[in-house]
Chains A and B, each alone.
Chain A
Amino acid sequence: MATVLKTCLVAAGLVWALAAQTVQAEEMKRYVVEGSRAATLPSCVEPTELMRRQHMEFIKHQRIATVHEGIRKEKYGLSGCVDCHISYSAERIPQPINQADQFCGACHAFAAVNLNCFDCHASVPNGTPLDAAAAHEAAGVAAQVQSHRDGEDH
């Protein structure tokens, strides 16, 4: 009797462990926001696993090359991250990428890691005034972004 009980317990334990893992796998969130360009691509500039663990290293190396040597063509630029991972609201307004429900913001909130790139860097694609005007015109968001850029809404 005791053996049967033990077996049952072990079996139950195994089932629970398996189920828990499944649940965990389902809970493994995908932070790429639907509607962003990134959601349509198979992976980022490097395989996803690598990006998850090392994106900060890539960005850090890129920033030195860009600021000190003027190299703007490398693939790890922060503006590239923003361009690809940005999503737009129903009114075609770009959602700041560090917002709690957006790509950078959501994962950093989950991982409890401070995200201060966007204290200085643009959290929405906001090019040089000339380029930006054309891009926003094309995306139909000129009015919203324009007012934001000139600080009229502050």
Chain B
Amino acid sequence: MKDDNDAINSERRTFLGVAAGITAAAVAPGVILHTVAAAPRAEPVTSDVRWGLLIDTAKCVDGCSACVDACNHENGLNLQVMPAGESPQKWETQKAVWIRKIKLQDNQTGRVTTLPLMCQHCDDPPCVDVCPTGASFKRADGIVMVDRHLCIGCRYCMMACPYKARSFNHAEMHGQLTSVPRGKGCVESCNLCVHRRDFEQESTACVDACAAEGHHAIVFGDLKNPNSEISQLLNAMPSRQIREDLVLNTGVRYSGV
């Protein structure tokens, strides 16, 4: 039996090797890069990249919730329904939210800033420190996420997160998306559209939605690539981390705050 499997595997590997060779040859001239770009990932993610967001609060519009709505749609958050008998106020505070729109006011000058706040994808995430099962983890490419298979729903990570970025699923769910499995009893948060990352797509749902609204307030990209748009912008304009005092080296940066 073992030999059979080995034989099958080696054939498969040969085929994949040839396929990869052909693909590489095709990509080299850079002609059909787009077709290849949609392929599912076959190799483990590496720390050669670190995904992040840059949010220009000057471009973020008060009252617009395009990013939140897009996130809800992309990740199936719009599937949640208020449990029968729940008070609407309680539901508002308990339902899963991956991005929230925050309004800041400087009390001395009266200046109001709005910004979307999601998981900040810390380099040194407190949620990972406190997780008793290893469910909360940081992927090699910098995405902080929850392995729901391991999550026992203790919610320590929610307590530890200084950004209030995580939500807990209280109720059973139906009709989930294939790309975003979700269910009762697990904690969840923004994962930088990890399903898009693994299929080599270029942006996140919130970035697309913000651009579609014409605001272009959110830029997604690789923080480690000096030539990426996000790195160039970070290099050119002043930006900050929220709660810099915690020295978490966040992957989400804000300008204009």
Interface residues in chain A, defined as those with a beta carbon under 8 Å from any beta carbon in chain B: 63, 65-73, 79, 82, 119-122, 125-129, 132, 148-151, 154
Q: How far is the CA of A67 from the CA of B178 in the complex (A)?
A: 14
Q: How far is the CA of A63 from the CA of B151 in the complex (A)?
A: 14
Additional A-B contacts beyond A68-B147, A70-B44 (18; CB < 8 A): A66-B198, A68-B139, A69-B45, A69-B140, A71-B41, A71-B42, A71-B43, A82-B178, A122-B181, A126-B177, A128-B74, A128-B177, A128-B196, A129-B74, A132-B178, A151-B78, A151-B80, A151-B81
Q: Which of B56-64, B158-166, B182-190, B233-241 contacts A (4 or more CB under 8 A)?
A: B182-190
Residues A126 and B139 in contact, CB atoms below 8 Å apart: no
Residues A151 and B79 in contact, CB atoms below 8 Å apart: yes
Q: How far is the CB of B178 from chain A (nearest CB, A)?
A: 4
Q: How far is the CB of A25 from chain B (nearest CB, A)?
A: 23
Question: In the complex, what residues of A have CB within 8 A of residue B147's CB?
Answer: 67-68
Q: How far is the CB of A20 from chain B (nearest CB, A)?
A: 30
In the complex formed, the residue of B with least CB distance to A46 is B5
Q: How far is the CB of B105 from chain A (nearest CB, A)?
A: 34
Q: Which of B29-37, B124-132, B168-176 contacts A (4 or more CB under 8 A)?
A: B168-176
For window 193-209 of chain B, which residues contact chain A by CB distance below 8 Å?
Answer: 194-199
Residues B176 and A126 in contact, CB atoms below 8 Å apart: yes
In the complex formed, the residue of A with least CB distance to B172 is A119
Residues B44 and A71 in contact, CB atoms below 8 Å apart: yes
The count of residues in chain B whose C-beta lies closer than 8 Å to any C-beta of chain A is: 41
Interface residues in chain B, defined as those with a beta carbon under 8 Å from any beta carbon in chain A: 39-45, 73-74, 76, 78-81, 137, 139-141, 145, 147-149, 172-179, 181-184, 186, 194-199
> Of A65, A69, A73, A149, which is within 8 A of B76 by CB?
A149
Residues A119 and B198 in contact, CB atoms below 8 Å apart: no
> Of A69, A72, A132, A154, which is within 8 A of B199 by CB?
A72
Residues A128 and B195 in contact, CB atoms below 8 Å apart: yes
A73 in contact with B175 given A122-B181, A129-B73 (CB within 8 Å): no
In the complex formed, the residue of A with least CB distance to B143 is A70
Q: How far is the CA of A79 from the CA of B80 in the complex (A)?
A: 22
4 smallest beta-carbon distances between A and B, as pairs: A120-B183, A69-B44, A72-B40, A73-B42
